[in-house]
Amino acid sequence: MGKHVDTAMIMAAGKGTRMMPLTAERPKPLIEVGGIALLDHVLDHLRDAGIGKIVVNVHYLAAQVEQHLAASASDLNVRISDERDLLRDTGGGLVHALPIISDDPFLCVNADNCWTNAGENAISRLIAAWHDDHMDVLMLLIPLEVAYNSQGVGDFNMDENGQLSRRQGDLPANYVWTGIQMLSKRLIVDPPADVFSTNLFWDRAIAEGRCMGIVHEGLWFDVGYPAAIAATEARLAEHRAG
């Protein structure tokens, strides 16, 4: 149960198409919510969980991300996984970054979400819940009904043991993936191409009964499109006001 983890990969290479026109001259990880860049929201949670090694993949407006990290994450051991030559999607991005990811398992966090903790840090909860003998993926999930700004109909269903399955047909699923997960390196093998989605790895884990989840305790927001920014700021202000 649980193990020491000190490395997280932050997915920050995407073009931020859904966030246009705000991303015309600024990469999505540097879009601000409540005056704080999304990337810094993520870094603050990782720091709070004691994570010291950060791998960040870059592609779109990469120099801006690198410059921001040099200023805002100088206290962390940051390494860049450079995808300037080819945007590899999430699965390809993991494969490309794997040589500079030192831990196994390791954390992987998307840079376009924002969350609060109710009690224990969500990253710390993931690490504590990891069981190497029966999981290759451990996802942080949020119930569909409180997945703020989410425009979908859920991603996964979860059984009483925490095992995940895909949404079936047109039926809504009970949970939305937060963009926060732990992965074992043993899953990141046999890539089909340079560019592909992490969905391939997830499907392998699901087929073997080794894709698991825990439910987030706190607020979570999809901040992937412009209108979500003001909605998130308003809900956070309401939350802080009690």
pLDDT, position 3: 67
Instruction: Spell out the SS3 assignment of 12-71.
Output: CCCCCHHHCCCCCCCCHHHCEECCEEHHHHHHHHHHHCCCCEEEEEECCCHHHHHHHHHH
Is 107 a domain residue?
Answer: yes
pLDDT, position 151: 82
Q: Which domain holds residue 201?
A: 7-241
Is 155 a domain residue?
Answer: yes
128-143 tens-digit pLDDT: 999 999 999 999 999 9
CATH label of the domain that carries residue 190 = 3.90.550.10
Domain tally, the chain: 1
Q: DSSP readout, 185-220?
A: GGGS---SSSS--THHHHHHHHHTT-EEEEE--S-E
**Pick from 111, 109, 57: nearest CA to 84:** 57
Give pLDDT < 70 ranges for the chain: 1-3
pLDDT, position 6: 94
Rounded to whole angstroms, the Cα distance separating 218 from 174 reads 17
Is 116 a domain residue?
Answer: yes
Rounded to whole angstroms, the Cα distance separating 195 from 36 reads 31
**Pick from 127, 126, 110: nearest CA to 217:** 126
Is 1 a domain residue?
Answer: no
Is 200 a domain residue?
Answer: yes
Is 172 a domain residue?
Answer: yes
Is 22 a domain residue?
Answer: yes
Is 2 a domain residue?
Answer: no
